[in-house]
Structures are given as C-alpha cells and as structure tokens.
Amino acid sequence: MRNIKLTIEYDGTRYQGWQRLGDSDKTIQGKVEKTISQMTGEPIEIIGSGRTDAGTHARGQVANFKTTSEKSLADMTQFFLTYLPKDIVVVDITEVSERFHARYNATSKQYSYYIRQAALPSAFGRNYHYYVSEALDWDAMQEACDRLTGTHDFLGFSALKKTKKSTVRTVDSITMTREGDLLHFTFIGDGFLYKMVRIMMGTILAIGKGEMTVNEINRIFEEKVRKDAGDTVPAHGLFLDHVDYQK
C-alpha cells in the first residue's frame, strides 16, 4: 500500500470549503477525491491537514491518501492537470512513509489575511482581500498582534460552541506589512481553532478602528467569551500559505 502526499493550491471562491459535504462537487475535498478515485480505480478518501471555510483559499494545503495503484507520480501529476478544475492545482506529489498523516503530523501552519485600505474597492481583487475604507491605527494594531501571540486559551477567539478538547494554542507570530493600499497580515502557530484567524483579524481591525482597546484582549483570554472579541472577517481574504511537518 502506497501513501501519497499532495500539496494543493486552490481558489476557494466557488466552493463550500475543504470538507466533503453531501454534494461533493461543491467542496475541494470532494473534487480531489473524485479525481483520485477515477485515476486509481479505487474508492479514495483523502486526509487534509485541516479544514478551510467556504471562500478561503490555499497556496499550500497538504493532504494524503493511500492506494494500491502503481501509477507513477509523473502520471498522477498529468492526470490532475487534465481532470481537476482549473481553480484546483496539485503543485507537488511525493510518496511518503505509511505512517505519515497530513493532519496529525502537522507541527505548524501559516495563514495570510489581506486587507485593502483605500477610498474605493477594487473590481479585480474583490475575491482575495477584504475592503476597509476607515482609517486604521497602525501602532495599535501592532500592539494587538503582540498581545495575541504566545500560548493562551483561544476559546474566546473561536466559533466553537462546545468542545471537550483543549482550546490552548500557541501563536508564534503575527506580522503586518503594507504594500500600497494592501495590508498583509501573517499568522503562524501550532494550530488554529474554528474561525480563529478570522476572529483574531476582526479583533485587530476593531482595535485599529478604535472600537476596542488592546487591554480587552487580556479579558477575552480570561473570560473566554466569543461575543467580546471582534467580528469574524470574511473568508475571501484568507489564505492557507503552508503547513510544516517535523523531519
């Protein structure tokens, strides 16, 4: 039995997220599984490093699947190029050990969120960034990024209802850069809860607009109440950049 690791790039605009649903043609996982099953002649279930929401994009989603197919990696690459939709591209295929698991073996993830801050929105980038017209306090947002880093219970910054699993995560860094009208926020951590990046981003924006203070972040960590954090920003500004694994 072979274990095949895929690195996948996709534009999530027209999909209902990564996770397979009843109508698999509307999810990334469903599309990829259907194509692999056609390629191998076997019923295939792929394991992703994590779920991305409807509208979220990826430059480096990682998944793996097991197969008895003897098709070469080069032939697989060509099959994907031929039969996958043009907004889903398998950018790398490798054969890995049988024990490799795309979700359980992941040690860190990097996400990017893009905001266009300008007088007018863009007709071209509307599916890839969030438009904000208000003035933003750069120094306050930087302080918010610093407060959100470290090891904390992030339940108050997630959309989780109930869970028996730990909601403690480590955010290694949140960085901000500006290129003209485009603000680029990079989030790196050992893992992120449901909608956690989008809620942290909404909180940073609220602080930048003066709607919240930086000190409220500490209270949210302590009280773990979701409604006290900022809005959940739209998914279309979010990209999964890459997933790291221990050697």
Catalytic residue list = 53
Q: Give the span between the Cα atoms of 67 and 2, in whole angstroms.
A: 5
87: which 2 tokens?
């907004």
73-83 and 28-40 helices cross at what angle (nearest 10)? 130
Phi, psi of 32 (to 5 degrees): -70, -45
Other CB atoms within 10 A of residue 140 CB: 18
Q: What is the maximum span of the chain, computed from C-alpha positions, in angstroms?
A: 59
Q: Position 154: which residue type?
A: F
Helix (H), strand (E) at residue 58: strand 57-67
The neighbour count for residue 41, using CB atoms within 10 Å, is: 11
Tokens in use for 247?
């050697």
